[in-house]
């Protein structure tokens, strides 16, 4: 089941108040390190950086800490952005990742954290990110991926059973019932790497984090 963009936006508007807490709880705090690694993979000192699907702003703030000169956070959920605005005085823009409101080649680097899994058209999202990067600009995409190896059974228990239960006791819980299905539907790390190449990125690589629960993809705008 793929949710329509309006349904995704409404879902994030509803879970905004608990989003940060759920992130910390679901990942035992590892998400902070993952965002730092994503930011460091993409950002060089003084860069003009886009953090697309910025949500409550943690990855945009990590981009700034990694040395960015200017960071723009973009998201289509006003409630997620409202939380981001309270955290840091960056440029926060309401907009659609599938139709980015920026000229070609505007940014030196772009990051997306847990944002491409929910878009209606993944390929269009990657092409938009490529378009707004200058040639040679760097992209880092952090996303939940299908787990491999020994952790897989624990992951299924955690993600398919416990996380949706946790979600039920918190406002906006339905979003967390939807989460396992959205991960299952999302392409494997290898497939996402191939898609990035198809969408105009070179030197595409990925590393698995958190015992292979999360993939960090990087690429250079060709
Ligand atoms: C799981 S949150 C990730 C937030 C943040 N990047 C982080 O690292 O925690 C996904 C975000 O993507 C946003 N989003 C989903 N589709 C979008 C689109 N087409 N355009 C803009 N934002 C979108 C949602 O509103 C939500 O805030």
Closest listed residue to residue 146, CA positions, set 181, 111, 193: 181
DSSP class of residue 45 equals T
Ligand 1 pocket test, pick from 10, 16, 80, 115 with the greatest ligand atom count within 8 Å of Cβ, gives 115
pLDDT for res 1:
54
Cα(141) to centroid of ligand 1, in Å?
Answer: 12
pLDDT for res 171:
66
pLDDT at 172 over 70: no
Ligand 1 atom 8 nearest Cα: 113
For 75-105, write each residue's pLDDT tens digit. 999 999 999 999 999 999 999 999 999 999 9
CATH 3.40.50.10860 fits 5-221, yes or no: no
pLDDT at 168 over 80: no
pTM (global) more than 0.85: yes
Ligand 1 pocket test, pick from 13, 14, 21, 53 with the greatest ligand atom count within 8 Å of Cβ, gives 53
Selected residue with higher pLDDT from 113 and 179: 113
- The 3-state DSSP class for residue 110 equals strand
Band (pLDDT 50/70/90 cuts) for residue 23 is confident
Strands (E), the chain: 48-52, 70-75, 91-94, 107-113, 133-144, 201-209, 214-221
Ligand 1 atom 27 nearest Cα: 55
What average pLDDT does the chain have? 92
Ligand 1 atom 1 nearest Cα: 114
Spell out which residues line ligand 1, taking CB within 6 angstroms.
5, 8-9, 12, 35, 53-55, 58-59, 75-77, 80, 96-98, 113-115, 118-119
Residues 6 or more apart from 91 whose CB is under 8 A from it?
70, 71, 72, 73
Question: What would the mean pLDDT of 132-160 be, rounded to a whole number?
Answer: 87
Q: What token pair was written down for 56?
A: 């409550």
pLDDT for res 18:
87
Q: What token pair was written down for 53?
A: 């699907």
Selected residue with higher pLDDT from 158 and 20: 20
For 31-42, write each residue's pLDDT tens digit. 999 999 999 999
pLDDT for res 55:
98
pLDDT for res 60:
98
């Amino acid at each position: 089941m793929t949710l329509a963009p309006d349904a995704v936006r409404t879902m994030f508007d509803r879970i905004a108040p608990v989003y940060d807490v759920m992130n910390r709880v679901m990942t035992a705090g590892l998400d902070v390190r993952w965002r730092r690694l994503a930011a460091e993979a993409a950002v060089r000192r003084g860069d003009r950086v886009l953090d697309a699907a910025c949500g409550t702003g943690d990855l945009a703030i990590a981009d700034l800490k990694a040395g960015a000169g200017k960071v723009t956070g973009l998201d289509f959920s006003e409630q997620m952005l409202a939380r981001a605005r309270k955290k840091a005085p960056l440029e926060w823009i309401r907009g659609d990742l599938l139709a980015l409101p920026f000229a070609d080649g505007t940014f030196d680097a772009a990051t997306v954290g847990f944002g491409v899994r929910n878009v209606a058209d993944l390929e269009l999202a990657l092409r938009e990110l490529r378009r707004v990067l200058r040639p040679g600009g760097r992209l880092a995409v952090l996303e939940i991926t299908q787990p491999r190896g020994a952790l897989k059974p624990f992951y299924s228990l955690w993600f398919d059973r416990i996380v949706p239960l946790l979600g039920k006791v918190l406002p906006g819980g339905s979003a967390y019932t939807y989460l396992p299905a959205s991960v299952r539907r999302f392409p494997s790390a290898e497939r996402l790497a191939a898609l990035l190449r198809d969408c105009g990125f070179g030197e595409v690589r990925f590393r698995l984090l958190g015992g292979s629960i999360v993939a960090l993809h990087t690429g250079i705008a060709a």
